């Protein structure tokens, strides 16, 4: 399925080649087997934005690295964020002063206001920005994400002005939840690209 990413997006009348796809992983990164890792390998204009330490996230460092990746991009940027990567994108959005970012696919953002279940290593990313994002976005949440309730996800999506979708019980939409290539996510990405 991943081999046909470019074909899928082309059928949607939008070319991946028209954008720099910046993939923003969350806490502990997106190792081999994670859908973000697979997408980065298969999309010709995609890259994972690397962080200094995936296991000890630092808000300022992560935001700066993503912001620099945006500034270095030569085409319109489309973010693909997962988990703490989504929170990072929301923080980066507060720094953006131009329209270089064309859109974002946001997947399984954590609710950092939860009192339990959130790793202490990521608490420094709170509070979550609640300003509207200055670009179109699509937020995919899971009905049984251990790190975020549907209600909290809906609140974030509403604050950010994101299209909101809960396609079912997907866990945290990671390999531990059984997600490798995640073709349904790929279709959601293609739909977002079509709208940009």
Taking the chain (196 residues) in runs of 10, the rounded mean pLDDT of each run is 45 69 97 93 95 97 97 95 98 89 97 86 94 97 96 98 97 91 92 90
How high is the pLDDT of residue 188? 94
**Dihedral sign of CA atoms 102, 14, 157, 62 in order:** negative
User: For residue 137, what are the contacts with CB-CB under 8 A and spacing of at least 6?
Assistant: 103, 104, 105, 106, 160, 161, 162, 163, 192
Radius of gyration of the chain from Cα atoms? 15
**Dihedral sign of CA atoms 173, 177, 180, 184 in order:** negative
How high is the pLDDT of residue 178? 87
Integer angstrom CA distances of residue 71 from 37, 65, 74: 22, 10, 8
Integer angstrom CA distances of residue 64 from 47, 69, 118, 121, 180: 16, 9, 23, 18, 29
Here the tokens at position 178 are: 């059984």
pTM reported for the whole predicted model? 0.92
Q: Give the helix ranges, DSSP H, for the chain.
A: 5-11, 35-42, 59-72, 84-93, 150-160, 183-195
Q: Report how far residue 77's alpha carbon sits from residue 43's, in angstroms, rounded to the nearest whole number.
A: 14
How high is the pLDDT of residue 179? 85
How high is the pLDDT of residue 10? 43
Fold for 2-195, please state it: Rossmann fold (3.40.50)
Whether residue 154 contacts residue 164, with contact meaning beta carbons closer than 8 Å, is answered with yes
Coil/strand/helix, residue 135: coil
Here the tokens at position 86 are: 């989504």
């Amino acid at each position: 399925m991943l081999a046909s990413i470019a074909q899928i997006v082309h059928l949607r009348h939008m070319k991946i080649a028209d954008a720099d796809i910046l993939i923003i992983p969350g806490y502990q990164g997106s190792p081999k087997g994670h859908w973000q890792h697979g997408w980065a390998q298969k999309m010709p204009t995609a890259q994972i934005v690397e962080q200094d330490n995936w296991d000890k996230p630092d808000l300022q460092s992560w935001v700066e690295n993503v912001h620099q990746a945006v500034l270095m991009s030569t085409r319109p940027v489309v973010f693909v964020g997962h988990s703490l990567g989504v929170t990072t994108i929301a923080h980066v959005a507060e720094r953006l002063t131009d329209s270089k970012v064309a859109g974002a696919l946001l997947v399984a953002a954590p609710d950092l206001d939860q009192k339990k279940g959130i790793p202490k290593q990521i608490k420094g990313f709170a509070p979550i920005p609640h300003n509207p994002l200055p670009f179109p976005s699509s937020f995919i949440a899971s009905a049984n994400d251990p790190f975020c309730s549907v209600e909290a996800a809906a609140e974030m999506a509403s604050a950010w002005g994101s299209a909101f979708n809960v396609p079912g019980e997907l866990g945290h939409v990671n390999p531990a939840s059984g997600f490798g290539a995640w073709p349904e996510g790929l279709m959601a990405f293609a739909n977002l690209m079509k709208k940009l």
